[in-house]
Homo-oligomer: A and B are copies of this chain.
Amino acid sequence: MRIDGLQYCNWSRRIFQEMRAGGVDAVHVTIAYHEVFRETVLQIERWNRYFEDHGDLIVPARTAADVDAARASGRTAIIFGAQNPSPIEDDIGLVEILHTLGLRFMQLTYNNQSLLATGCYEVEDPGLTRMGREVVAEMNRVGLVVDMSHSADRSTIEAAEHSARPIAITHANPFDWHPARRNKRAEVIEAVVASGGMMGFSLYPHHLKDGSACTLDGFCAMMADMAERYGVQHFGIGSDLCQDQPDSVVEWMRVGRWTKQIDYGEGSADNAGFPPQPEWFASNADFPNLERGLRDVGFDDAGVAALMGRNWYDFFDKNFGPL
């Protein structure tokens, strides 16, 4: 079983075909960065068209059982997520509405302060807000997973502690391996692991040691180190693959509508666009490379299976519905 914990590609039939070529059983896809509720619904409408037009390759999924059904029919299960709480606006009732529409992950922040918590680019991190505590409880109730990939440390630790259910970091790497602002310090990873949570390792070059030149062996050795340190059951892939996106999209991710200035985020004026992917992970068709890399650093069949998808599957099975 192969599951990717996060992608935001410029979706096309070719990419869905690559999912099949790579034997990818399920992908958590981002449907909103800064979109408000109505705009998020437009993105779901767009996916409904993809499901109609490419129903031979992809199928919507809301449960682990839906992933099984997708596998059995030779298709890739698509699971919706939001990288920001903007889709719920200031309305806690939209948590259940979006869950009914298929949302299964929601980040409490995207880089900046939100109504719920603090993003990883803010100077100060006062932790979960009043509304943040309420929304986490409501997400727990319906089975919408708290994702803290783009959140600041204190907010993440408080979310892990306040949440009655495991939380996730769907796409990031350890700060100790590569000290990027989006990568996670040991105490943050410990809090997520202590919640029974999951962390998906990112293949976005800004999160990788040596960036686009990161080696498969180096990436897989990091995974081996993390598995040894915290237990293999807490980890998977969250590739953050943004295939075929124009650079205007990374600008939208960073700038949204919150500033009139350019913000380069993890990039810079000299390197503002999407960085090139490592040659061993350019598309969904390259998932077998990861599997090979994990074997080469010493994982056995069970370890490879856990990291390539089984852990995400088990996490979906426990956390995608009411308790």
Which residues in A have some Cβ–Cβ distance to B below 8 Å? 37-38, 41-42, 44-45, 48-49, 91, 93-94, 96-97, 100-102
Contacts and interface: CB of A to CB of B under 8 A. Distances in A.
Q: Top 10 nearest A-B pairs by Cβ distance?
A: A45-B93, A48-B96, A41-B97, A100-B101, A38-B38, A45-B97, A44-B97, A48-B93, A100-B100, A97-B101
A48 B37 CA distance: 17
Q: Chain A's interface: helix, strand, loop or mixed, by majority?
A: helix
A94 B37 contact: no
A94 B94 CA distance: 16
A41 B37 CA distance: 10
Nearest to A60: B100
- Copies per assembly: 2
Contact of A94 (B45, B96, B102): B45
A277 to B, nearest CB: 32
A93 B101 CA distance: 13
A121 to B, nearest CB: 30
Contacts of A93: 42, 45, 48-49
Nearest to A141: B52
Given A37-B38, A38-B37, A38-B38, A45 B91 contact: yes
A20 B188 CA distance: 51
A224 to B, nearest CB: 42
21 contacts: A37-B38, A37-B41, A38-B38, A41-B94, A41-B97, A42-B93, A44-B97, A45-B91, A45-B93, A45-B94, A45-B96, A45-B97, A48-B93, A48-B96, A48-B97, A49-B93, A97-B101, A100-B100, A100-B101, A100-B102, A101-B101
Nearest to A44: B97
A38 B40 CA distance: 12
A225 to B, nearest CB: 43
Contacts of A42: 93
Nearest to A93: B45
Contacts of A49: 93
A307 to B, nearest CB: 33
Contacts of A100: 100-102
A82 to B, nearest CB: 16
**Most chain B C-beta atoms within 10 Å of own C-beta, residue among A38, A42, A49:** A38
A153 to B, nearest CB: 33
A275 B209 CA distance: 75
A273 B152 CA distance: 57
A60 to B, nearest CB: 10
A102 B101 CA distance: 10
A44 B93 CA distance: 9
A166 B97 CA distance: 29
Contacts of A37: 38, 41
Contacts of A45: 91, 93-94, 96-97
